[in-house]
Amino acid sequence: MAAQQAAEQARLRDLGEILVDVQPPGRQCPKCKRLMHVRKTFGHRGVTLAHGSFHAREAEYVCPHGCSERTADGRDRRALVRRSPEVASLLLPRSTIGYDVLAHVGVERFVRFRRRDEIREDLLARWGIGLSTGEVSSLAKKFCVYLKALHVSRAKALGKALAADGGWPMHIDASGEDGRGTLLVIYAGWRRWVMGSWKIPTENAQAILPRIRETAQLFGAPCAVMRDLGRAVIDAARTYIASLAKPIPNLGCHMHFVRDVG
pLDDT, tens only, 12-71 = 555 455 556 566 656 778 788 888 888 887 777 889 998 888 887 877 788 888 888 766
Residue 129, C-beta contacts closer than 8 angstroms, at least 6 positions apart: 47, 49, 52, 53, 101, 123
Question: Sheet containing 250-252: which strands, arranged edge to edge?
Answer: 193-200, 182-188, 169-176, 224-227, 250-252
Q: How far apart are CA 212 and CA 242, in angstroms?
A: 13
What is the pLDDT at residue 65? 80
How large is the C-alpha radius of gyration of the chain?
A: 25
Of 175, 163, 171, whose CA–CA distance to 196 is shortest? Answer: 171
pTM here is 0.74
How many other CB atoms are found less than 10 A from the CB of residue 56? 22
Q: Which residues pair with 77 in a beta bridge?
A: 70
pLDDT, tens only, 75-116 = 656 677 776 777 778 889 888 899 999 999 999 999 999 999
- The rounded percent of the chain whose pLDDT value lies above 70 is 84
Q: What is the DSSP string of the chain?
A: -HHHHHHHHHHHHHH-PEEEEE--S--B-TTT-PBPEEEEEEEEEEEETTTEEEEEEEEEEE-TT--EEE-TTSS-EEE-EE--HHHHHHB-TTSSBBHHHHHHHHHHHHTS---HHHHHHHHHHHH-----HHHHHHHHHHHHHHHHHHHHHTHHHHHHHHHHTT--EEEEEEEE-TTS-EEEEEEETTTTEEEEEEEESS--HHHHHHHHHHHHHHH---SEEEE-S-HHHHHHHHHHHHTSSS---EEE-HHHHHHHH-
How many other CB atoms are found less than 10 A from the CB of residue 8? 11
What is the pLDDT at residue 28? 78
